[in-house]
Structure 1
Amino acid sequence: MVDAGMIPTVLVTDDDADFRGVVCEALVRGGVQTQQAADGDEALRVIEKTAIHMVLLDVHMPRVTGLDVMRILSQRPNAMPYVLMSALMDEAIEREAARMRAYKILRKPVRLGKLREIVCGGLAEAYGWRPPE
């Protein structure tokens, strides 16, 4: 739960460091804190050590993919919302992500304003959080 006045933390997971940086910058301007992970393995380590309220996941990453992370998170009670993103999205990936209750499934490139709206919507639905005015 996000307490009143608390700033939620969104984990941005993508093997493209430039993309992570741009997304994090846009989300911080939207009123949230961010953490970054270069792949799913690093994302899982961050989730174990840090209070994460939402996860953005690229599908195709080395070692542990976004779908692998979603499989692990979907097994947990009260899983945080997660958004799956990919430039190479196909119907099989979309079906698998929907089965694991992804909050949203996005095709890259993603407009930053749209991504910020989705993050704020997920945080509002899951925690009742609203961005600062």
Structure 2
Amino acid sequence: MEFSILWPINQVQWGAWSSAAITFVFGLLMFLAPRIGFRIRRLQPVGEKPEAIAEGRATMAGFYLGVSLCCLILGPQLFLFMALGFSWLFTAFGRLLAMMSDGANTPYNWVSVVVELVLASAPLALAFGFEA
């Protein structure tokens, strides 16, 4: 495997790179300031339990940082961008499922679904060969 930093040269690559960069920023926020990240996501640890904050740093930040850094550092490895795109796609699907079955049909969730679908479509376009 060759290490090379992906520098975008067309719109599809810019979209995939931007999705990875935004995912990295989300991960960095959850890693360095999980309470702020929880507040942005409208989540609140019950009783300021340290386990909840650790879960934000570990599970949420870990996946965001790991997948996005692999996409940004390892260059145009299409399977990495496919993993990033499908991760965001399943995030949107999970939110839609919650909106339909858990009564979470709120404007915040609709905006989140749109953002997640945009973050999913950009790397999937690159992975499936849609070149501009």
Task: Give TM-score scaled by structure 2 length.
Answer: 0.32
Computing the radius of gyration over CA atoms, which structure comes out larger, 1 or 2?
2
Q: Which has the higher strand share?
A: 1
Task: Give TM-score scaled by structure 1 length.
Answer: 0.32
Q: Which has the higher helix share?
A: 2
